[in-house]
């Protein structure tokens, strides 16, 4: 039957077409990009791409002498051109779907990140689940060339550090593509990106020698939060202010907080749970922001003789942690106000609660933000005092005296 033959022919043709031959990317032809660094030098963009070195990380035939990643660098006038040109420096086709980290040089960040973000949103190969980081006081290229100890792939290492530290240590803030774009676009909110510093700039940082010691000479530390205003980096928060920022945006899940004990020595409290509610209130026709922090803490480390069995001892600690948190928050707001950038989304809070007032404030929000009254209420509850009620040091002294 003639018809059957034609259908068969068609099936054969379609089988060829449907295997995706135009798009096939064999695994061994790909260079898996895990990190991109973008710097601005004069009017050029400098691209650094960190690619997994497949030969070095294969588990069976691990070649110790090779670095686990390769970085390629290129200078171009536009970002898109940079990505295209990079394909000429790498022997394999760059594959971006597993990108973990985008590092922006501080110079670029201060000049504006809109173009970079636009490109990352536009190109379908970027999935948007990577983190942004600003290389503080250095270039993105420097950061990406460092070989890290605990993880084979440096970008993955930073990615993990960032997502872990955002969970266990307050002063960092992990930012992915979608929230960044939303913050850039929403009137009444400005973005932040965590900054990263390089410590101990040893000459061997870009070779595997860097990881042959237990304390690598060059390390990368996640540092503080960078404030942006309309896509431009304007200031850095210090550690306390960074914590304050995270308290305000309700991103503290656990952290440690040192507070001053009776005679100036440290008591470390471990924050186990913290939630923050932002509310907007109208005060004689002017909006006001109420920040309400509810924190649960555990006793961590106590270096002072203090008897926790004494009634009121715990509540004293609670009060002083409340003051501490309030002052973090206050400092963070003061810093942001001095740069006229509403990184906390107070504008959004007013918008949601009171659209009419927001319509009036919005055109001049940067100014209004500076004059916006903010009230901070922090409540701390110490849940567990650890397994011992009396600090060990005090117990030892007591028992010695008793003998």
Partner 1 sequence: MNKNSITHQQFTKIVALDIIGVSILSVPSIVIDIAKQDAWIAALLASFFGLLLAGLLYLFGRLFTGQTLIQFCQHLLGKYLGNGIALLYIFFFFIGSTTLLWDIGQFTTSSVLTDTPRLVINFTYLIIVIASVRLGVVTIARSAEILFLVFLGIYVVFSILILPQIHLENIQPVLEATTPALGQAAFILLSFTSLTLFRLLMFYPQHVPPGRATARAFLVGTLIGNGVLLVIIVLSILALGTQLSPLLAYAGHTLARVISVGQFIERIEGTMTTLWYISMLIRITLYFHCLVVGFAQVVRLSDFRVVTLPLGMIVLLFSLFIYPDFDYAAKWNREVWPLYAFTHGVLFPLLLAIVYWFRNSSLPAAEQKESPSQTS
Partner 2 sequence: MMIFGIMVVAALIVAYDLPDIRKKGTRKELAFFTGLLAIACVLSAIYFLGLQLANPLDWIAFIYQPLFDHLLRDKAGFK
Using CB under 8 A as the criterion, which residues of the chain lie in contact with partner 2 when the complex forms?
2-3, 6, 9-10
Burial of 346 (0-12, 13-18, 19+ CB in 10 A): buried
Q: Measured between alpha carbons, how far is 77 from 40 in angstroms, rounded to an integer? A: 10
Q: Measured between alpha carbons, how far is 147 from 159 in angstroms, rounded to an integer? A: 14
C-beta closer to partner 1: residue 186 or 219: 186
Applying CB under 8 A, among 6, 9, 10, 395 the residue interacting with partner 1 is 10
**Are the CB atoms for 280 and 367 separated by under 8 Å?**
no
351 binds, among partner 1, partner 2, none (CB under 5 to 8 A by kind): partner 1
Segment 85-124, which members bind partner 1 (CB under 8 A)?
A: 97, 121, 124
127 binds, among partner 2, partner 1, none (CB under 5 to 8 A by kind): partner 1
Q: Which span sits near partner 1 by CB under 8 A: 17-25, 260-268, 384-392, 395-403?
A: 17-25
C-beta closer to partner 1: residue 15 or 61: 15
C-beta closer to partner 1: residue 250 or 272: 250
Q: Cα dist. 88→71, 72, 77, 93, 118 in Å?
A: 13, 10, 16, 9, 23
First to last CA, the chain: 108
Q: How far is the CB of 251 from partner 1 (least distance, A)?
A: 13
Q: Measured between alpha carbons, how far is 314 from 307 in angstroms, rounded to an integer? A: 9
Q: Measured between alpha carbons, how far is 390 from 314 in angstroms, rounded to an integer? A: 12
**Are the CB atoms for 272 and 229 separated by under 8 Å?**
no
Applying CB under 8 A, among 4, 12, 22, 64 the residue interacting with partner 1 is 22
Q: Does 230 bind partner 1 (CB under 8 A)?
A: no
Q: Which of 356, 349, 372, 336 is nearest to 187 (CA)?
A: 349
Q: Does 178 bind partner 1 (CB under 8 A)?
A: yes
23 binds, among partner 2, partner 1, none (CB under 5 to 8 A by kind): partner 1
**Are the CB atoms for 246 and 171 separated by under 8 Å?**
yes
Q: How far is the CB of 11 from partner 2 (least distance, A)?
A: 13
C-beta closer to partner 2: residue 1 or 27: 1
C-beta closer to partner 2: residue 15 or 214: 15
Q: Does 35 bind partner 1 (CB under 8 A)?
A: no
- For 153, half-sphere exposure in the C-beta direction (CA atoms, 13 angstrom radius) is 21
Q: How far is the CB of 237 from partner 1 (least distance, A)?
A: 24
Q: Does 199 bind partner 1 (CB under 8 A)?
A: no
Q: Measured between alpha carbons, how far is 333 from 337 in angstroms, rounded to an integer? A: 6
Q: Does 4 bind partner 1 (CB under 8 A)?
A: no
Q: Does 355 bind partner 1 (CB under 8 A)?
A: yes
Q: Measured between alpha carbons, how far is 387 from 83 in angstroms, rounded to an integer? A: 56
Q: How far is the CB of 158 from partner 2 (least distance, A)?
A: 43
Q: Which span sits near partner 1 by CB under 8 A: 135-143, 178-186, 311-319, 369-377?
A: 178-186
Helices and strands in the chain, H and E counts: 14, 13
Q: Does 20 bind partner 1 (CB under 8 A)?
A: yes
Total chain residues near partner 1 (CB under 8 A):
24
**Residue 212 carries which DSSP code?**
S
Q: How far is the CB of 279 from partner 2 (least distance, A)?
A: 33
181 binds, among partner 1, partner 2, none (CB under 5 to 8 A by kind): partner 1
Residue by residue, what is the 3-state secondary structure of 340-387?
A: CCCCCCHHHHHHHHCHHHHHHHHHHHHHHHHCCCEEEEEEEEEEECCC
6 binds, among partner 2, partner 1, none (CB under 5 to 8 A by kind): partner 2
How big is the chain by its Cα radius of gyration, in Å? 26
Q: Which residues here bind partner 1, judged by CB under 8 A?
A: 10, 14, 17-18, 20, 22-23, 97, 121, 124, 127-129, 178, 181-182, 185-186, 348, 351-355
């Amino acid at each position: 039957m003639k018809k059957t033959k034609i259908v068969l022919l068609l099936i054969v043709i379609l089988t060829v077409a449907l295997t995706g031959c135009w798009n096939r990317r064999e695994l061994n032809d790909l260079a898996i990009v895990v990190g991109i660094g973008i710097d601005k030098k004069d009017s050029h963009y400098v691209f650094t791409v960190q690619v997994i070195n497949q030969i070095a990380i294969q588990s069976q035939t691990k070649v110790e002498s090779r670095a686990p990643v390769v970085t390629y660098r290129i200078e171009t006038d536009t970002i898109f051109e940079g990505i295209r040109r990079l394909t000429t420096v790498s022997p394999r086709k760059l594959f971006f779907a597993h990108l973990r980290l985008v590092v922006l040089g501080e110079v670029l960040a201060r000049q504006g990140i809109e173009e970079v973000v636009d490109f990352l949103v536009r190109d379908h190969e970027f999935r948007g689940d990577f983190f942004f980081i600003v290389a503080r006081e250095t270039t993105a290229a420097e950061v990406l060339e460092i070989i890290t100890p605990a993880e084979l792939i440096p970008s993955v290492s930073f990615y993990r550090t960032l997502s872990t530290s955002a969970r266990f240590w307050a002063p960092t803030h992990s930012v992915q593509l979608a929230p960044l774009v939303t913050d850039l676009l929403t009137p009444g909110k400005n973005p932040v990106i965590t900054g990263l510093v390089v410590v101990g700039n040893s000459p061997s940082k870009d070779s595997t020698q860097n990881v042959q010691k237990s304390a690598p000479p060059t390390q990368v530390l996640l540092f503080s939060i960078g404030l942006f205003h309309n896509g431009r980096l304007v200031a850095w928060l210090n550690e306390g202010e960074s914590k304050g920022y995270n308290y305000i945006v309700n991103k503290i899940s656990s952290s440690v907080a040192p507070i001053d004990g009776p005679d100036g020595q440290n008591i470390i409290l471990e924050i186990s749970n913290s939630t923050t509610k932002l509310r907007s209130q109208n005060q004689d026709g002017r909006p006001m922001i109420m920040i309400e922090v509810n924190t649960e803490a555990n006793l961590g480390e106590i270096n002072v003789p203090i008897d926790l069995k004494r009634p009121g001892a715990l509540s004293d600690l609670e009060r002083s942690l409340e003051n501490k948190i309030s002052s973090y928050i206050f400092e963070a707001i003061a810093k942001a106000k001095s740069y006229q950038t509403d990184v906390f989304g107070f504008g959004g809070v007013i918008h949601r609660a009171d659209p009419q007032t927001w319509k009036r404030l919005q055109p001049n929000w940067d100014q209004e933000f500076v004059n916006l009254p903010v009230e901070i209420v922090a409540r701390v509850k110490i849940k567990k005092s650890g397994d011992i009620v009396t600090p060990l040091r005090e117990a030892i002294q007591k028992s010695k005296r008793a003998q």
